[in-house]
Every structure is written in C-alpha cells, then in structure tokens.
Amino acid sequence: MNKNNHYHPQRIKVGLIGATGMVGRRLAQLLANHPWFEAVIFVGSDSSTGMPYRMVWEKKEKMLQDHYGVHLWKPLPFPDFLEDVTIAPFDDLLNSDVSVVFSSLPDRAGILEARLLESGKTVFSNSPYRRFDEDATLAVTEVNGNEIGKHSLIKNPNCVTSGLCLVLAPILERYGLKEVVVSTYQSLSGRGDALYDSDLVVGNIYPLFHSQEQTENYIRREVGRIFPNPFAVSVTSNRVYVQEGHYVEVRIKAKKPIRNSDDVCEVLSQFSPLKDSGLPLSPKQPLVLVHEKGRPRPIQDSDHFGGMAVAVGNVSTDDEVFDLRLSYVVNNVVRGAAGGAILNSELWLHQKILAGSMLLDPTSVKAVGVL
C-alpha cells in the first residue's frame, strides 16, 4: 500500500450498503483511516437494522468458522474504530448528503443501487446487478480506468477477472492475444457468507459448471467487455477448500512470437500504469513475480501489498499446445472485490480533481501525487 499520504485532502463522506456481508465487512476495514474517504453510514439487511455492527460482524464470522472448522477459517477481527456503529436503514443513506456509496449487494437487491443513482449518488459496486449494462462502467483500475468517469455506476468485475485482466493487459500489449484458456480453483470466501454443504467442499473439489453460480459466464463476458479487441476465452471454474485467495491457471496463444519466459517475466514485472499516482491503495507492483517452485499458493501469496497485488508464477513457454502458460493468485476479497472498488473510487476522485470539478486543498492534493 502506498505510504506517501502524509497530508490528506478533505475527506469525503461515503456510505456502505451491504455492509454486513463479507465484502462489506472488508470494505469497512479497508476504509478505516482512509486519507480520502470517511465511511459514515453502514447499511445492511432489514433484519440487521438497528443492531450493533460488532454483533452482526462477529456472529457472521463465527458462523463461518463453526461451519468450516477452526483449522480452516480465521475470523476477520472487528475494527475498534467501528465500536459505536449501528446498522442504519436504507432510507437514512438514500436521504443523506453522502454523495459516494460503496455497494456489495447481492444481485437480487440491486434495485437499491438504482434508487441511489436516481438520488444523484455515485455508486462503486461489486454486485453483478447491471454489470453489463451500457450505462454502467466495468473497470479494473490499471487496465481501463479511463472509463471510470463516464458513468455514475462503476462496477468491478468478478474476483477472478480482476486478477486475470491485470495479468493479460501487459501480455496483450506486447504480444497480442488469440486464445486464452483459464482454469480456476476458487476459495470458499468467493461465495461470501453463503455456506456450502460440507460434502461438496471439505477435502474435495467442487466444479461450478452448470451450478447456480455463473462464474464461468461472468469471467468470459467481463474479459470481453474490459478489453476492446476480442480474443477467444475458455473458462473452467472450481471451488476448493481454502479460506481466501483464488489460484488460477492460464494458457495463452499469442499473435506474436514469445522468445522465452524471462522476456514474459520482464513484461509482467514492469507493468505499473499507476506508478507514482499517489492513489492510497495502489500497489507499487500490481503483479508480483514469484519464482519459487510450487508457488504461487493462496496462503503464501494472497497478501502481497495488502492483498492488492496479484502473485504470478510458473511462467513457461515450454508447452506443446500453447505459447505461454502461467498461474496466479488473486486475493478475491481485497483485490477482487472491496479493494478493487476503493481503487476505482480513488482514480475517479483523481480524475475529478484534475478536471477541476472537485475542489480540495491543493497543497494536500499535491502531497498525494494527484497534481
């Protein structure tokens, strides 16, 4: 995480909707002491309205630990700075002067995002709701962040896609892409607080093909929307018995010859389009190369730069079918969800300041690298 925020612009008050869910809880944690944003309203389900945030938070973490076992599930601690927070009703957020909202609503509750937009608020959202609508932006900050200012509804994609786009962007630029084959091994936290039956996942691998989860379809469609020049994408998704961090295998057919794996590693390690931007959650290196055999792995590699960087390894050009193979680990709750939404909002604010449509203390803004 960038540490060059010694001086802060005036903090913008923001709201969280879906604050009691897994991604909502991580949003609350990441926004603690954020130099640009101050979370002031926390909205959950109707059943949690009026309840202490701590009570809801700890109950949900304990439920996950009890279900999956203490040997696997490590509860996310409740932040002390939220001690006095109670869960607010939706109308409190809707009628507030808060202009920026972070949403982690399930698709079925997405209509609440529409009401927030109608009230003039800007919404940064992890929800699948309207993810493919033309009047919504689907963005991975470093890849197509120039799209963020075009709409008031800014979506970040599926957690696998968030990592995949970061990996593919520099490869596409250097070599071009014809075909990409993706096999995912996704952690249990990717389903939020919803619990899998133990016999599906404990000591097991659960294929998601034709299940109620639309992960494979989401990944294909999201990649096609984020990259303007189309290439073929094949996806197979599986759920595995890991708490956090998705492991993904990638196979690529390129348009241009790839000399060797060292050349690819150099291309990946030099990818840093937000370098020196001063965005608080922007990692120094979006892609971290790991060269140890048997890496990357979710436990060891899902927390690079606070979970905002993607770990890449097993880079090889020695394949009889594909030009390139590699694997990566993305922190699905941070980079693939909560942190991705916040980073999008940081770039949005950056763009607003540069365009002169938002006035902040120029001395403070310059200190964080925006001017």
Return the closest-CA partner of residue 168 out of 208, 130, 222, 124. Answer: 222
159 is catalytic: yes
Q: Cα 123 to chain center, whole Å?
A: 15
Separation between Cα atoms, residue 44 and residue 46, nearest integer Å: 7
**Category of 192 on φ-ψ map: left (φ > 0), alpha (ψ -120 to 50) or beta:** left
In this structure, the number of other CB atoms found within 10 A of the CB of residue 366 comes to 13
Dihedral sign for Cα 154, 190, 217, 179, please: positive
What is the rounded distance in angstroms from the CA atom of residue 215 to the CA atom of residue 39?
Answer: 30
Cα–Cα distance for residue pair 330/203, rounded to 1 Å: 22
Asked if residues 365 and 12 have their Cβ atoms less than 8 Å apart, the reply is no
Distance CA(290)–CA(287), nearest Å, equals 10
Of the residues 151, 159, 304, 350, which is catalytic? 159
Q: Are 365 and 13 in contact (CB under 8 A)?
A: no
Give strand ranges (E) for the chain: 12-17, 37-43, 100-103, 122-125, 137-138, 153-155, 177-186, 205-207, 232-240, 246-254, 287-289, 310-316, 324-330
246 given a catalytic annotation = yes
Nearest to 202 by CA among 59, 67, 294, 299: 67
- Return the H-helix or E-strand segment holding 117: helix 111-118
How far apart (Å, rounded) are the C-alpha atoms in residues 285 and 1?
Answer: 10
Catalytic residue among 34, 151, 165, 246: 246
Question: Helices (H) and strands (E) in the chain — how many of each?
Answer: 12, 13
Name the token pair of 132: 């493919």
Which residues are identified as catalytic? 159, 246
